[in-house]
Amino acid sequence: LAKTTQPISMDSYEGQEVNITCSHNNIATNDYITWYQQFPSQGPRFIIQGYKTKVTNEVASLFIPADRKSSTLSLPRVSLSDTAVYYCLVAEGNTGTASKLTFGTGTRLQVTL
Amino acid sequence: NAGVTQTPKFRVLKTGQSMTLLCAQDMNHEYMYWYRQDPGMGLRLIHYSVGEGTTAKGEVPDGYNVSRLKKQNFLLGLESAAPSQTSVYFCASSYSFGTSVGKNIQYFGAGTRLSVL
């Protein structure tokens, strides 16, 4: 399976916009890209999901190019409480096979004053 | 609304001992999953279930067994624990898997931290 890769860590100041990219060059044709946030000692929780182009909700935006081989999670005006690990999740290969669900390696975001 | 509940939260085992991790969800989800999380490795799928009475292997199934006798419960068993199974284990559930927007969002439990000495 092609690996789903993300930067290991990122640093940001409070109030800045943060963009985290996930590379997934073997994504299944018909499946969605989902991003999760994880705080220490907690399970991941859903942030945003998209299939193509751009999706926006109350906490983030997700940008997906036409070839869908990558995606970028955008967090506007981050605060200290956004310090967490962010994961992308894609299905690789043939859609509908949960065994090919692949989480990215995770990006540790540290926000400081 | 409890969501996904995992028990126990912590456990220490000796090599060769057995144990069962319990996952319970109250969202009437069909799909349930067991992951392990290790430093620098992200989350890796161990086993999953697409419905009551069915289970399937994920990416790293060796050394684990699972059962889904009731829709709301998914059990992960270690028959003979090894130090390599020291990890944090997460259970998750989703309404479905695949292309339906929003339907395949996974909801996670708080995790079980397991140490095998």
Q: How far apart are CA A64 and CA A52, in angstroms?
A: 5
Mean pLDDT, residues A86-108: 77
Q: What is the mean pLDDT of residues B93-106?
A: 76
End-to-end CA separation in angstroms for chain A: 40
How much of chain B is helix, strand and coil, in % rounded to 5? 5, 50, 45
SS3 call for A87: strand
Chain B: give the shortest CA distance to residue A89, in Å. 10
- At residue B98, the pLDDT reads 59
Provide the number of CB pairs (under 8 Å) joining chain A to chain B.
71
> Can you tell me the distance from the alpha carbon of B106 to that of B109, in angstroms, rounded to the nearest whole number?
10
pLDDT value of residue A26: 79
pLDDT digits (tens, 9 = 90+) for B22-61: 999 999 999 999 999 998 778 999 999 999 999 999 989 9
- What's the DSSP call for residue B99? S
Rg for chain A (alpha carbons), in Å?
Answer: 14
Taking 70 as the threshold, does the pLDDT of residue A97 lie above it?
Answer: no
For residues B106 and B95, the answer to whether their CB atoms sit within 8 Å is no
Distance from the Cα of residue B39 to its chain's centroid: 18
| Residues in B touching A36 (Cβ below 8 Å) | 106, 108
